[in-house]
């Protein structure tokens, strides 16, 4: 079968390895896995970071949608010919991929594979991030990095839950879309956010994190869920006394089972994927897709994603 693999050659001027087509063996499902024929997959900026130094044998791809062609031998999960969205550990940029059945959710006829493929990583992160944040009604929320895939989902879900969201994005055009999704205010740099905020959802790191922290209310909470700047943050203990005294600073990773549906009952993503599918079907969640392209254009799409030329998600369609 065809799959996209790191070529070992650097992509021009962007600092990560190119990907290209290779012939690889079709995977064989292990216990509790289904074989899915991939119809579409989405790419994530974090995957370009992994491509900077790809591990031997690793093939990228964690967000897929397609058709089950071999059900799990243990009887778990969707049956053959069911359309699904999935979140495999890797290898999804291919014609076929094995996915643990507890990381699959069935799709209704109303949800096409392109929109479904935009859900897994960004949608799971947003859903679990807000679950970690707790009750949102009436809370003032500051969201950095708001114009990416996660940011669009967070803005829409948090606003619908009653939060007053201030979104940070450098682009006025992207800001208008965030306003449409429910943001109460949009600022184009973190320093323009007024505050104080009860909750800060911070994804940029670097110099932006201490500025975001300074906008936090006393005893507020900052949840740190990314470092898009690729730059470490420096914090000063005494700066907390200038406003966010006794604040809570919390690290977040979406794969932590405590953030998932049914905390402590395993790390599968299927139940939360089903929630995302339901929310889309009810018109309460909008997959924000800035680029749709055939998978032959994956290398160019990755470069544009890395250089922030794509708003929201980028989805590639798979053909034989």
When pLDDT is averaged across residues 152-169 and rounded to a whole number, the result is 98
Question: Tell me, what CATH number does 7's domain have?
Answer: 3.90.180.10
The CATH number covering residue 193 comes to 3.40.50.720
Distance CA 294, CA 30 (A): 29
Is the domain of 82 the same as that of 113? yes
Give the closest residue to 90 by CA, choosing from 103, 73, 71, 77. Answer: 103
Query: Where do the H-state alpha helices sit in the chain?
Result: 45-50, 113-117, 120-133, 149-160, 172-180, 208-214, 270-281, 298-306
Judgement on whether residues 9 and 104 belong to the same structural domain of the protein: yes
Higher pLDDT, 53 or 110: 110
The confidence score (pLDDT) of residue 301 equals 95
CB-based burial label for 202 (10 Å; 0-12, 13-18, 19+)? buried
Task: Tell me the three state secondary structure of residue 255.
Answer: coil
Confidence of residue 232 (pLDDT cuts 50, 70, 90): very high
Indicate whether 132 and 228 sit together in one domain: yes
pLDDT digits (tens, 9 = 90+) for 66-95: 999 999 999 999 999 999 999 999 999 999
Please tell me whether residues 15 and 88 are part of one structural domain. Answer: yes
Over 50: is that where the pLDDT of 56 sits? Answer: yes
Is residue 258 in some structural domain? no
CB 136 within 8 A of CB 130: yes
Average pLDDT over residues 100-111: 98
pLDDT over 70 for what percent of the chain?
95
Average pLDDT over residues 293-310: 93
The range of the structural domain enclosing residue 242 comes to 125-253
Q: Which residue has the tokens 């905390």?
A: 263
Whole-number pLDDT of residue 127 = 97
| DSSP-assigned letter for residue 51 | T
pLDDT: which is higher, 261 or 149: 149
C-alpha triplet 95, 98, 99: angle, nearest 5°: 120
Is 93 part of any domain?
A: yes
278 domain residue, yes or no: no
Question: Are 196 and 221 contacting, i.e. CB atoms less than 8 angstroms apart?
Answer: no
Residues 205, 207, 210, 215: what is their CA dihedral angle, to the nearest 10 degrees?
Answer: -100
**Are 112 and 7 part of one and the same domain?**
yes
Q: Mean of the pLDDT values across residues 121-125?
A: 97
pLDDT at residue 11, as a whole number:
57
Asked if 105 and 277 count as a contact pair (C-beta separation under 8 A), the reply is yes
Are 11 and 115 found together in one domain?
yes
Domain count, the chain: 2
Q: What is the residue-averaged pLDDT of the chain?
A: 94
Residue 257 has pLDDT above 70, yes or no: no
Confidence check: pLDDT of 261 > 90: no
């Amino acid at each position: 079968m065809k799959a996209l693999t790191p070529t070992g050659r650097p992509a021009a001027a962007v600092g990560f390895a190119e990907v290209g087509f290779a012939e690889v063996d079709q995977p064989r499902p292990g216990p509790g896995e289904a074989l899915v024929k991939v119809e579409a997959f989405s790419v994530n900026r974090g995957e370009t970071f992994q491509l900077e130094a790809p591990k031997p044998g690793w093939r990228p791809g964690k967000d897929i949608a397609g058709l089950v062609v071999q059900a799990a031998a243990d009887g778990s999960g969707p049956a053959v010919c069911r359309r699904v969205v999935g979140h495999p550990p890797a290898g999804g940029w291919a014609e076929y991929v094995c996915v643990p059945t507890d990381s699959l959710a069935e799709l209704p006829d109303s949800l096409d594979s392109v929109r479904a493929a935009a859900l897994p990583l960004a949608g799971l992160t947003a859903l679990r991030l807000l679950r970690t944040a707790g009750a949102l009604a009436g809370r003032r929320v500051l969201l950095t990095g708001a114009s990416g895939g996660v940011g669009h989902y967070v803005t829409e879900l948090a606003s619908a839950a009653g939060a007053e969201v201030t979104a940070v994005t450098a682009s006025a055009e992207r800001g208008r879309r965030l306003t449409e999704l429910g943001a109460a205010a949009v600022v184009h740099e973190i320093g323009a956010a007024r505050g104080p905020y009860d909750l800060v959802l911070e994804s940029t790191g670097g110099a932006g994190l201490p500025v975001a922290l300074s906008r936090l209310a006393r005893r507020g909470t900052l949840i740190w869920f990314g470092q898009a700047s690729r730059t470490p943050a420096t914090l000063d203990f005494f700066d907390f006394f200038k406003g966010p005294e006794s604040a809570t600073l919390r690290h977040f990773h979406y794969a932590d089972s405590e953030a998932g549906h049914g905390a402590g009952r395993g790390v599968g993503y299927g139940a939360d994927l089903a929630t995302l599918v339901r929310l889309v079907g009810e018109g309460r969640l909008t997959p924000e897709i800035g680029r749709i392209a055939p998978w032959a254009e994956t290398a160019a799409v990755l470069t544009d994603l890395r250089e922030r030329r794509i708003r929201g998600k980028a989805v590639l369609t798979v053909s034989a």
